[in-house]
């Protein structure tokens, strides 16, 4: 048990360090995008730079959430402090949506009053560097978030990857503008990307709210039921009322297992241990189980 807690703390600290690196690099990438915007006066690049502010802000929130996740469980927080990750992910989604609205406004203004663009070649180079870096960071963050069951790292990673795709679209649009001088493309692209941002923000908010309110994950519950049926022992008559609660890297599973009425207490305890081991093997060593035994007549 002590080793499990030590390993959990090690993973949570690793998550914290990863988020800190992402936040630091995000500040550098934001500066690069601002320089690209100053050179080109492109609204599309400005939209990318504004998203960079969101990356920094939400990265800070994510860092704080991962710090809270490193705090051990206590009497007031028996499931740990991992729920903070859902709150910060929700704030991130809200800020992304607000940034999208701001970019739509700027895009419409640029279409009504188009401004000449300059130094597009340098602008494309700079934001391409930022886009590639964002994709690599996003891939690393998503992979680590899934491995360590951290919604903060996962949401950060998905955001960074989508940001990289956005940058690819902007780069292509600016190349077209460079060769055609059709400056209206810049405004149209910024508006399209803004709506993509808002949709992404909605999905992040939806996932965060479901986590905060412990919304039933029917897909996961069905998977657990099927797993227990496949691994079932003859004396495990049936399962009922299986529930799942996620909190950071922890996953808590409880429910009711019906065993033969004549089964001795010792054997019933062994059944509970076997059920626990099956779920730990599937969902990781930080899986907690709390099954109630009832007699099947």
The pLDDT of residue 133: 92
Kindly state whether residues 130 and 223 are assigned to the same domain.
no
d(CA 169, CA 65): 32
d(CA 211, CA 245): 8
Q: Decide: 15 and 149 in contact? Cβ < 8 Å.
A: no
Kindly state whether residues 123 and 225 are assigned to the same domain.
no
Q: Which of 190, 212, 234 is the last residue of a domain?
A: 212
Tens of pLDDT, residue by residue over 13-72, are 677 777 788 888 888 988 998 899 888 888 888 877 877 777 777 677 667 766 665 666
Kindly state whether residues 268 and 246 are assigned to the same domain.
yes
Residue 258 contacts by C-beta under 8 Å, 6 or more apart in sequence?
236, 237, 238, 239, 240, 293, 294, 295, 296
Mean pLDDT of 273-296: 83
Q: What are the beta bridge partners of residue 288?
A: 252
Helix (H) or strand (E) holding 288: strand 287-296
CB atoms inside a 10 Å sphere around CB 147: 14
Kindly state whether residues 243 and 286 are assigned to the same domain.
yes
Kindly state whether residues 137 and 42 are assigned to the same domain.
yes
With a cut of 80, say whether residue 248 has pLDDT above it.
Answer: no
Closest residue by Cα to residue 111 from 50, 186, 179: 186
Confidence at 126, pLDDT banded by 50, 70, 90: very high
Q: What is the 3-state secondary structure (H, E, C) of 91-149?
A: HHHHHHHHHHHHHHHHHHHHHHCCCCCCCHHHHHHHHHHHHHHHHHHHHHHHHHHHHHC
Kindly state whether residues 183 and 231 are assigned to the same domain.
no
Closest residue by Cα to residue 292 from 222, 239, 214, 216: 239
Question: Which is more confident, 94 or 279?
Answer: 279
Closest residue by Cα to residue 60 from 83, 86, 26: 26
With a cut of 60, say whether residue 8 has pLDDT above it.
Answer: no
Burial of 297 (0-12, 13-18, 19+ CB in 10 A): exposed
Kindly state whether residues 182 and 223 are assigned to the same domain.
no
Kindly state whether residues 232 and 183 are assigned to the same domain.
no
d(CA 90, CA 41): 32
Q: What percent of the chain has pLDDT over 70?
A: 79
With a cut of 60, say whether residue 181 has pLDDT above it.
Answer: yes
d(CA 196, CA 189): 11
Closest residue by Cα to residue 143 from 15, 27, 251: 15
Q: What is the CATH number of the domain that holds 268?
A: 3.30.70.1350
Q: What is the CATH number of the domain that holds 26?
A: 1.20.1510.10
The end-to-end CA distance of the chain, in Å, is 36
Domain membership of residue 247 as a residue range: 218-296
Averaging pLDDT over each range in 23-27, 90-94, 216-220, which range is the top one? 23-27
Confidence at 156, pLDDT banded by 50, 70, 90: confident
Kindly state whether residues 130 and 58 are assigned to the same domain.
yes
Count of the separate structural domains present in the chain: 2
Tell me the average pLDDT of the chain: 79
Cα 58–chain centre separation: 11
Question: Which is more confident, 17 or 277?
Answer: 277
Kindly state whether residues 260 and 157 are assigned to the same domain.
no
29-52: b (≥16 Cβ within 10 Å) or e: bbebbbbbbebbbbbbbbbbbbbb
Kindly state whether residues 194 and 230 are assigned to the same domain.
no
Backbone angles phi, psi at 190, to 5 degrees: -65, -40
With a cut of 70, say whether residue 262 has pLDDT above it.
Answer: yes
Q: Which of 212, 230, 256 is the last residue of a domain?
A: 212
Q: Which of 162, 196, 212 is the last residue of a domain?
A: 212
Kindly state whether residues 163 and 222 are assigned to the same domain.
no
The pLDDT of residue 1: 47
């Amino acid at each position: 048990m002590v080793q499990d807690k030590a390993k959990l703390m090690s993973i949570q600290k690793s998550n914290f360090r990863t988020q800190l690196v992402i936040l630091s690099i995000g500040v550098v990438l934001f500066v690069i995008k601002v320089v690209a915007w100053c050179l080109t006066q492109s609204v599309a690049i400005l939209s990318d730079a504004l998203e960079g502010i969101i990356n920094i802000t939400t990265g800070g929130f994510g860092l704080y959430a991962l710090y809270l996740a490193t705090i051990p469980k206590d009497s007031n927080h028996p499931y740990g402090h991992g729920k903070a990750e859902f709150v910060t992910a929700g704030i991130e989604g809200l800020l992304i949506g607000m940034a999208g609205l701001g970019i739509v406004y700027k895009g419409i203004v640029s279409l009504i009053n188009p401004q000449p663009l300059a130094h597009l070649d340098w602008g494309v180079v700079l934001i391409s560097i930022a886009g590639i870096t964002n994709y690599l960071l996003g891939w690393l963050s998503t992979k680590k978030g899934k491995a360590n069951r951290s919604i903060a790292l996962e949401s950060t990673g998905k955001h960074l990857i989508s940001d990289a795709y956005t940058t690819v679209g902007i780069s292509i649009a600016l190349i077209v503008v460079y060769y055609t001088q059709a400056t209206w493309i810049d405004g149209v692209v910024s508006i399209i990307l803004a709506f993509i941002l808002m949709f992404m923000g909605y999905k992040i908010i939806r996932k965060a709210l479901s986590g905060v309110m412990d919304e039933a994950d029917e897909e996961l519950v069905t998977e657990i039921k099927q797993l227990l049926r496949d691994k079932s022992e003859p004396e495990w008559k049936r399962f009922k009322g299986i529930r799942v609660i996620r909190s950071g890297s922890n996953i808590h599973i409880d429910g009711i297992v019906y065993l033969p009425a004549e089964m001795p207490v010792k054997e019933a305890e062994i059944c509970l241990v076997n059920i626990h081991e099956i779920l730990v093997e599937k969902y990781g060593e930080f899986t907690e189980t709390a099954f109630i035994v009832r007699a099947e007549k």
